[in-house]
Amino acid sequence: MLTREDNERLTRVGPGTPMGELMRRYWVPAVFSHQLPAPDCPPVRARLLGEDLVAFRDTSGKPGLVDERCPHRLASLFFGRNEEHGLRCVYHGIKFDVDGNCVDVPCVAPGTASDNQMGAIKRQLKIKSYPCIERGGVIWAYMGPAELQPEFPDPEWARLPADQRHATRHIQECNWLQGLEGGFDAPHLTFLHGGSAEPSRGIVPSLYEVVPTDFGFVVGTARDLGGENYHWNINVMLMPFHKIISSVPHAAHMWMPIDDEHTMLYSIDFKPTGGAFTE
């Protein structure tokens, strides 16, 4: 059993927490690409690792992820107008690009500030932003120090054509570790899910092996089918919260922390050898 202190260390994900800082060293899922269907479309909210953010797609189609609050009077940029390569706050018209730079301050009357003064105002108004990339129908963000930004891990399902994968997501009212632990808990498939996924799951696993790796761990579970026959199932855990499942079709999960008590579970079914999913 974990101590209370260890549990707090593992499950708190806000800025400045040990696990929160570790999570920020990885590319994490922010929103689905289809939530931002076109350039200059309305922004969407994204709460990640305890931070309230807004995702938007600018005029060139580039995705951005910025602080939800305008630094001027803290109005929500979720209500902002997405136009001409930036998100404009509806309160006073201050505008920000995908890198968080203030690019327009129309509420400063013309002629009342020199170019140097206007430059200083814009620098003061720069907001928090996170780099984004788009892979596999997901917009990913890197929320850690710029000098430590890693390459995107490029999982197999993210490299496939769109018709060879099917992704959904839903909120779990628990911390990310509770969600991930449930995802690797083989006996609960038998008792909770009733073996509906495959007949062999009606048999409680008799063997459970964990192999540590430099990227996470691999879990093997075996169900005794009688005689010398066992049904093995292999699941791979990739840091920080990914799971690859040996099913047909293949599947992957990501337990993305929203905050300390809520988790966004992404579920992806995919067919690496071809074959489209039907609606």
Per-residue model confidence as pLDDT tens digits over 246-264:
877 799 999 999 999 999 9
Query: Nearest 5 degrees, angle CA 165-CA 254-CA 62?
Result: 70
Cα torsion angle, 30, 67, 107, 102, sign: negative
Place of tokens 């203030």: 102
Lowest mean pLDDT among 110-124, 138-152, 167-181, 231-245: 110-124
Residues 132, 63: Cα–Cα separation, whole Å: 6
Structure tokens at 277: 């999913």
Share of the chain above pLDDT 90, in %: 74
**Can you give the pLDDT at residue 221?**
85
Give the model's confidence band at 195: pLDDT under 50 very low, under 70 low, under 90 confident, else very high: low
Give the model's confidence band at 199: pLDDT under 50 very low, under 70 low, under 90 confident, else very high: low
Across the range 164-189, mean pLDDT stands at 92
72 close to 95: Cβ distance less than 8 angstroms = no
**Can you give the pLDDT at residue 112?**
81
**Can you give the pLDDT at residue 187?**
75
Quick check: pTM over 0.95? no
pLDDT exceeds 90 at position 196: no
**Can you give the pLDDT at residue 198?**
55
- Looking at residue 94, its amino acid is I
DSSP string, the chain: ---HHHHHHHH--STTSHHHHHHTTSEEEEEEGGGS-STTPPPEEEEETTEEEEEEE-TTS-EEEEESB-TTT--BGGG-EE-SSSEE-TTT--EE-TTS-EEE-TTSPTTSS-HHHHHHHHHHT---EE-EEEETTEEEEE-S-GGGPPPP---GGGGS-GGGEEEEEEEESS-HHHHHHHHT-SHHHHHTSTT-S-GGGGS--SEEEEEE-SSEEEEEEEEEEETTEEEEEEEEEETTTEEEE--SSEEEEEEEESSSS-EEEEEEEE-TT--PPP-
- Looking at residue 121, its amino acid is I
Lowest mean pLDDT among 46-50, 112-116, 119-123, 134-138: 112-116
Give the model's confidence band at 2: pLDDT under 50 very low, under 70 low, under 90 confident, else very high: confident
